[in-house]
Structure 1
């Protein structure tokens, strides 16, 4: 028993903490920032104002996380985010391929709680910032659950709050709304009719029941469904994120009027459900109930803070290369009308670039403050560019960038502005790539510290045997193959069949920009006469002037089929000139106005387990999987496969790195293939595989004859092995014991 006498007043307790880095905001961006900084040796405090991590990806909102892969609906091949963001998505696939949002919460919480050097404060909101001059020194936060104030002092601060709480309270320069078209020359800049901000959305789940379920709408539910101009798109089968366009609030203050926006969205959701249940238009909804409705909205846009570079539309569409490129995006420029669900405009206006674009470090810190890093959806970007960079996997990738940047700033005694300068930023770029973060058109310098390499075998593409299945050429189909500078493609023999004799045109297409997978050029073509079932030789009178991927593209031809194989190869893919309705309206990007964007065809892969590969023979064999590839520092198929793959009949594959003199080894980072083209949306959609087939699931690492590590049940593309004490060795040997079912591929072994 405790008895407390009356007093004049009481005060809640205060805890004082100190950190090298304070991260405010526990969405994917903030979590990745905190994990990266802690892994690089900083003491980190992560403050999150919600009971779970993940932000819009959490079980509170339940929006699936996505990024440059864009639901596999654009031309960004092998573009899934790497590093910690990739680790999260791969871990979620392993534990939660069904897409349960509560399980995704668990994945994120487990990562944070198991990370040494990271202190996590949930249910804690920052409300006060102290600074000296242009330097933030301390924040104060409050947790209403344990009735405790926290004061946290730190050397560096990272704002990942979405609304920019730290930057706002510290007085940093920021913007809201859209720039006028004239300011930056952005032709997609919206006018007042379309609106200047993106709104919020609330999602809901439904489920089938054994019998009829009545629904009585609340008093505040929308009464007239025709107030929603797009109401005829509603069906009883739509669920969750399919109704992302139930959006509102873009003309309000999306920070200070968030509660008004939430109530309007509840009004809309319950009005929509009332329409589905009680209008009589959906008799199949009689045995349905609404299982979950979000208690908080998913917020898209509020404040954007100013750094030394303002990312703009041209950076994205032109794929401008920045000297300080540290990350990339690939989602479309995706702008929504400010009136949301009540707008007569379409729910979104989406335009894709021809490939991924890079994001400069100069957009990831405040130019107003000396020690405030920015990540997530408040980075230095115009409203138009924000429409692409705002998606969660891109934000998570940016989080790792600023976390590792904070560690470098501490060790090198630099401000973020200093680190962004040409003489310093290369260190950050190398550090990111050494940890498995791919940066388009950049590479890691000497990843194996001067080693030579040899392998038990190297894959050569000679024959992919038929499996008895056929693919109708009902739509344009293409095989993506790498070709080296100065070489011709080999002759390719394909098995085709047709019920009646007819010609089939096969074209050789290529991209103008190195690293893109959007065909701009027609290099050559040939026509084969298909009659019955027979082999046909395809050859082109063309020699490549550079390393690149080319498309062997088959015209759509009703009545013609191509034989398929069971073999799938890393760095080779079949794509179709098709439509993904989630991110595009046509099989070709078409601009219905002068928006300053390109028009081009979409060439899309199919999702697991529906990917296909044509059976073929190559003469001479295609040599694209050399062991020497692991030394070039390129972490993805870009212009070439950039990977070593052993021969298909090698039952004991291994690869060895050797040095003439003993090498001091502190850490080994293995970067291997885990199907970087496979979109791993975090929740709702579900996935076929828990581990993608090329992944090496069981391997051993040897230093000379000493076993360093044996890893079983691996499901990650980036596998790090840190040694407690440095080891001197003449060689490192990787022994591959099992994959998830397909041929493995190694991009790099980064040694430090």
Structure 2
């Protein structure tokens, strides 16, 4: 086999290590049980946010300080006998030991002691001892001991004691082999437009394209639609749709809008998950795939020919072929996998000529929020001390009953894609640490209040931006430039976050609280050329990953504006199919057709 030039010595070592492990265990009986695939997840939740890093979802005991109901499943073994158990988990807050303690119970017998408090950061396999399987069907139970976000990725039962591969490449190969991912993959069929990402932008793109007669697949990696505007994240919609240069644009955004409950409302129903689902289910031309994370693309003649998604719970894979694809993931995932040109971080003043740009190019991005809310209760309740969380004191704490957007981590010192789990966990350490201080030191105000909700899905602001034929700049926005392909009208301020000064004083390098300076702008338009890739011919994009500079992104990123981008993409896909062209061809040869639709 001829190896690619980029294969490094480290990769070869990993590859050969996995091969050696596979040969050593070839004659052994093995059973891989993915925690997220448990028959009954109980009070545990499924988290897929780190899929790009660990190539898997996992179960997490998100009890806000109270142990959650056991997760249970029945595992079917090929044969009875003595097996060695390995448990893949991590200590998410090793300061020096974290709180995510849990037990693994097989047929009523706890094995391996307590997991999740090793004091070692990072995902690892931990040995859980021997277990005698006397019946081919065995009950497995994950028992949470703290309610503080213990997590389990997988269990491996093997008649060999050989340690499973600890690296991500080896784990990916292990999953592919023992779960037979290739052999069980299904074909979803061919679509005119495959929309990846079911936030407001992706949902709008799917609805408009479907109403124009296109056959659409809408793929979302969570069980609900709406993205940051869902009950899982609870960010309210921003940006105006009634100040349009094209007044009819924004009608689908208005359909999805369930009102304004503010950020972090304790009642998740306020964010209209069912409203969004009803709208999608009504469209006969849309096939909806929830809980499906797209992690692979197939290319043909520089175009995307197919994307492959894995169900975040069952691990079953589905392949989608399409004529056009729209990346509405926020992270620019499809574009990245396809090799699309992208940027991440801040450009310099020299590069863009923007007065608000950084002095030097860097990796700084806006952060991620995990919102939370408390509610009053009838009697005084307690909350544990949290020595593993961020430390708060009389001198510095945040005295509020419900969070807002300012609870934000990232700010360039952490990568919002590769370190999404660490960012979310830092937010949790801030939330729990502050709440523990309030409960234990301000009993008069907080004694009869309890945490009602804490987001475990991060609300991202910024990651990759996919480059199109036009890159929107600060000057485009502030000068109100009206390009021939002007489509979406945007109204939000240039809103670039940075760590709050006081927060930086008490938590230097570990900030979790943000400030901003709103730079107001008159309504301006976003060119259609910002909504398709400049080097992947059949790729559209809509949402916070469109073609802008970092500064311009500060204004375009809000969800009503992103939803209108999706509407334009749905129309452009129709024009492209009708005229047998691609997204660029719509601009070059059929722009009037598109603009007529945008106006009407």
TM-score (norm 2): 0.64
Higher helix share: 2
- How far residue 6 of structure 1 moved from its aligned partner, in angstroms, is 4.1
| 2:281 paired with 1:117 | no
| 2:217 paired with 1:45 | yes
Task: Between 396-405 and 215-224, report the one with greater CA deviation.
Answer: 215-224
- How far residue 84 of structure 1 moved from its aligned partner, in angstroms, is 0.6
**Counterparts in 2 of 1:404 and 1:351: CA distance versus 1, 3 Å:** same
Unaligned runs of 5+ in 1: 435-752
The equivalences for 1:588-607 within 5 A come to: none
Q: Give the structure 2 partner of residue 430 of structure 1.
A: 596
Distance 1:193 1:136 in 2: 31
Q: Give the structure 2 partner of residue 235 of structure 1.
A: 399
What secondary structure sits across from 1:348 in the alignment? strand
Q: Give the structure 2 partner of residue 395 of structure 1.
A: 562
The equivalences for 1:276-295 within 5 A come to: 276-280=438-442, 283-295=444-456
The equivalences for 1:395-544 within 5 A come to: 395-421=562-588, 423-434=589-600
Q: Deviations over 1:479-535 (max 9, x none)?
A: xxxxxxxxxxxxxxxxxxxxxxxxxxxxxxxxxxxxxxxxxxxxxxxxxxxxxxxxx
The count of residues paired between Structure 1 and Structure 2 equals 417
- Preserved contact between residue 81 and residue 393 of structure 1 (Cα < 8 Å): no
Higher radius of gyration, 1 or 2: 1
Q: Give the structure 2 partner of residue 580 of structure 1.
A: none
Q: Give the structure 2 partner of residue 148 of structure 1.
A: 316
- How far residue 427 of structure 1 moved from its aligned partner, in angstroms, is 1.4
RMSD: 3.2
| 2:415 paired with 1:253 | yes
2:234 to 62, 65, 70: 62
- Preserved contact between residue 245 and residue 340 of structure 1 (Cα < 8 Å): no
| 2:477 paired with 1:316 | yes
- How far residue 276 of structure 1 moved from its aligned partner, in angstroms, is 2.3
The equivalences for 1:266-277 within 5 A come to: 266-277=428-439
Distance 1:41 1:183 in 2: 43
- Preserved contact between residue 291 and residue 313 of structure 2 (Cα < 8 Å): yes
Distance 1:225 1:250 in 2: 27
Distance 1:77 1:245 in 2: 35
Q: Deviations over 1:626-660 (max 9, x none)?
A: xxxxxxxxxxxxxxxxxxxxxxxxxxxxxxxxxxx
- How far residue 351 of structure 1 moved from its aligned partner, in angstroms, is 3.4
Distance 1:60 1:431 in 2: 34
Distance 2:355 2:394 in 1: 32
Distance 1:78 1:225 in 2: 52
Distance 1:76 1:129 in 2: 36
- Preserved contact between residue 468 and residue 547 of structure 2 (Cα < 8 Å): yes
Distance 2:328 2:497 in 1: 23
What secondary structure sits across from 1:326 in the alignment? strand
**Counterparts in 2 of 1:102 and 1:341: CA distance versus 1, 3 Å:** farther
- Preserved contact between residue 81 and residue 394 of structure 1 (Cα < 8 Å): no
- How far residue 18 of structure 1 moved from its aligned partner, in angstroms, is 1.3
| 2:180 paired with 1:11 | yes
The equivalences for 1:530-679 within 5 A come to: none
- How far residue 260 of structure 1 moved from its aligned partner, in angstroms, is 0.8
- How far residue 424 of structure 1 moved from its aligned partner, in angstroms, is 2.1
- How far residue 123 of structure 1 moved from its aligned partner, in angstroms, is 0.6
Q: Deviations over 1:334-357 (max 9, x none)?
A: 111268984369933333444211
Higher strand share: 1
What secondary structure sits across from 2:544 in the alignment? helix
Q: Deviations over 1:100-133 (max 9, x none)?
A: 5335111111111111110010110111101112
Distance 2:309 2:501 in 1: 34
- How far residue 86 of structure 1 moved from its aligned partner, in angstroms, is 1.6
- Preserved contact between residue 68 and residue 330 of structure 1 (Cα < 8 Å): yes
Q: Give the structure 2 partner of residue 298 of structure 1.
A: 459
What secondary structure sits across from 1:327 in the alignment? strand
TM-score (norm 1): 0.52
- How far residue 5 of structure 1 moved from its aligned partner, in angstroms, is 9.0
1:23 to 176, 195, 198: 195
- Preserved contact between residue 162 and residue 378 of structure 1 (Cα < 8 Å): yes
Distance 1:340 1:142 in 2: 42
| 2:391 paired with 1:220 | no
- How far residue 418 of structure 1 moved from its aligned partner, in angstroms, is 1.5
- Preserved contact between residue 250 and residue 338 of structure 1 (Cα < 8 Å): no
Distance 1:433 1:78 in 2: 5
1:86 to 242, 247, 254: 254
**Counterparts in 2 of 1:224 and 1:49: CA distance versus 1, 3 Å:** same
Distance 1:82 1:154 in 2: 26
Unaligned runs of 5+ in 2: 1-73, 80-176, 506-510
- How far residue 388 of structure 1 moved from its aligned partner, in angstroms, is 0.6
| 2:353 paired with 1:185 | yes
What secondary structure sits across from 1:336 in the alignment? strand
**Counterparts in 2 of 1:198 and 1:208: CA distance versus 1, 3 Å:** same
The equivalences for 1:95-134 within 5 A come to: 100-102=267-269, 104-134=272-302
Distance 1:168 1:432 in 2: 29
The equivalences for 1:150-189 within 5 A come to: 150-189=318-357
- Preserved contact between residue 248 and residue 265 of structure 1 (Cα < 8 Å): no
What secondary structure sits across from 2:364 in the alignment? coil
- Preserved contact between residue 68 and residue 80 of structure 1 (Cα < 8 Å): no
Q: Deviations over 1:198-236 (max 9, x none)?
A: 011110011111121211144422113589xxx56x333
- Preserved contact between residue 224 and residue 230 of structure 2 (Cα < 8 Å): yes
Q: Deviations over 1:655-679 (max 9, x none)?
A: xxxxxxxxxxxxxxxxxxxxxxxxx
| 2:209 paired with 1:34 | no
Q: Deviations over 1:395-431 (max 9, x none)?
A: 111011101110110001121111123x521211211
Q: Deviations over 1:426-460 (max 9, x none)?
A: 211211221xxxxxxxxxxxxxxxxxxxxxxxxxx
Task: Between 100-109 and 132-141, report the one with greater CA deviation.
Answer: 100-109
Q: Deviations over 1:283-312 (max 9, x none)?
A: 312211111100121111010011011001
- How far residue 176 of structure 1 moved from its aligned partner, in angstroms, is 0.6
- Preserved contact between residue 225 and residue 271 of structure 1 (Cα < 8 Å): no
